[in-house]
Structure 1
Amino acid sequence: MDRPDASSHSVVAAPFPHHPLARLIADEIRQRGGWMRFERYMELALYAPGLGYYSGGHRVIGKDPADGSDFVTAPELTPMFGHALARQIEQALDATGTDQVWEFGAGTGALAEQLLGELGDRIQRYTIVDLSGTLRERQHARLAASHPEQVRKVVWADSLPDELHGVIVGNEVLDAMPVHLLSWDGQAWQERGVALADAPAGTEGEPAFTWADRPVPEGVRPPTDRPDADFVPGTVTETHGQAEAFVATLAERMSRGAAFFLDYGFPESEYYLPQRSGGTLMCHQGHRSDPDPLVAVGHKDITTHVNFTGIALAGQEAGWEVLGYTSQARFLTNCGLLRPLAASPPRDAAEVKTRAALQMLLAEHEMGELFKVIGFVKGEWFDALGFSQGDRTHTL
């Protein structure tokens, strides 16, 4: 997605609504000598304890801006998403001889509710790894209400274990991991960071931020080594070191099992095309998107698309094999998403609503094509159901 052009040094930023997180970030910028890597800025904006967008207790996920939410995820649209994914997870549990599921970034608990309801005793332990204590409380309340007989097997964790086995699920997790920003001036890469800006008149005392570029430190690799990459002067793009390190750590610590990540993104050959010279960094607030992460810090989501080539390589180099890679539409269809509706036309308003949600999951101009699914295995390779048709691993 395109973003407003940024000069090689700075872009004027509007003031923040009052938020203690802005002052925390401003203080750290001063302590760092007046400049902060964007990766650190994004980390604080999203995850600063008690203050960040995800860690501060804000209701972020929901269908309607009227409920105070900022965006919706697939499990919130229809339980049929989780029911289809459950077929893939059940196959993976059987193929790897495991009985545990690990969900990272479980949000409202909707997907956990769907998977536990569909798979029942096939799952003996369901671990949710989530940094937000507030979300954990909501997840527990939801699961206790819907599956009181299953909630005893749910465990919450806020860090990775030293060893794990089972099936990992990450729906819209990788896109929320902090990234480095790089800018290309036609001759060399610069690292784009954040500095303090003069507050506009009438907003004295409120921190304001601005973009500022510095030479890339020695040893930092460019966004891609592809010889066909053509970066135009003024390009601003991302590298995904934290997401790749996260995937590598999971691969290293898994003794046996499988993993499935669902997110929006591209293979590297598409990620760094000239038409994406503005990068993919976007923010979400009130079910609207905007390109400026330097305003309303703590009040909105900051996200980037996923470079699935980098994710695949990180997993492989750490011991995983790629099971497959395809679009969300193809993956869910392979897992039987449409099977319950195939036999008859819609009979009532609820079924019409369900079909509308499925259209959003599958349509190319909605989530069907933009969202991708990548699968990994450690142990004996198997023909994963979700990639049985339309596998695109060759594009990675």
Structure 2
Amino acid sequence: MTGHGAATRVDIDQLRARHRIEDVVAASGVELHPTGRSLMGCCPFHDDRTASLSVGGVPDRFHCFGCGASGDVIDYVARLHGLSFRGAVEHLDHAPIAPTTPPVAQRPEARHRFVDVPVERAYAVNLLAWEHWTRPVNHAFALAYLRHYRGIDLHPAETVRGDRLVGHTGTAWASMTNHLARHGVATDELVALDLAHATRRGTLIDTMRGRLVVPVRDEDGHITGFLGRDTTGDPRAPKYRNPTRTEVFDKATMLYSPQPLTPTNDPVVVVEGPLDALAVTAAAAATRIPVMACTASGVAVTPTQADRVAALSPGRPVLVALDGDAAGREGATRWVDLLHGRLGHPVRVVDLPDGRDPADWIAHHGPHALGDLLARARHPAPPAGRHHCPDPAQQHEPMRPQL
């Protein structure tokens, strides 16, 4: 293309083909690292210290997960040099072809050996991760996602708690890994706590990406691990993710609750998933219905988890409100067997309509439906082969919250 005449579509397509986006970005001084199907580097358009710029993940395009800048090679040059579209086209038309620059591999240790991370150190590292995932932009995204896509308004609950209940990982490949490394967290510690893992190319990337995250805490409030719920809609991504077993996290013993895991006089409701626990907590705060929601994150339950739930509700019935499907009903039976059959702890079961979970129910009917949900609690059916005679005075008495 010469002069200032209008460029044809063929001219622009040829221009894009001659100037590969990867080569132009590398030639502008950005060090690119291979991560999965794309290249990552520090974005030149904002103060980026976490390698938020993805290049080539979508062919011939760039995207920054930090500031949102995106486009093709012409958009990149225009933004980099402050040019108009026409000016960027002319700049590229007169520029030499950028040399093909091989990406620079990051250099974590080729083999990450498992190390025993001291318990107090594990708590400290997990806290750093949580602080990163609850930065204002991440926290705002998490709240907006819950409000717009799941009908869960956490603002009243967070106001009551005076703390942030949810965060978001963002979608960058190594944002949290790089953040913790800058705070002195060793590669082996990141891997041992399942906060990061090595790719086949030897680069270290975040274990959780594109996920809403909630912290799993022990009775003393220490963060032992995180549960992550996919927000990308990628059918290849598992819906939920929890850490593998670490020095401080064990799926077989963990309980998640948005509230402190200390004994309470309020009704304790066992739900199936973290979003159900958040929905119940949000509705309780909005309606001032005193209730604690907790989950073992799924339908599976162990004796240790049942012991912990019983300890939260001394002398009061535990309400089991799992999803209204076959898996949820089977899970509810296991909770009843462990709590009532094994421990002799009083239990009530909340039956939900087919295909509904507590989060769906509350989102559809509104926060005040929490009271109706609790009032649906019934005595569990006696196990096959046993004859259980409940107290006649309570046999038909629904479980109602104390307002």
The TM-score bracket by the shorter chain reads under 0.3
The structure having more radius of gyration, on CA atoms, is 2
Whose strand fraction is larger, Structure 1's or Structure 2's?
1
User: Using CA pairs below 8 Å that are at least 6 residues apart, which structure has the higher relative contact order?
Assistant: 1
TM-score by length of 2: 0.22
TM-score by length of 1: 0.22
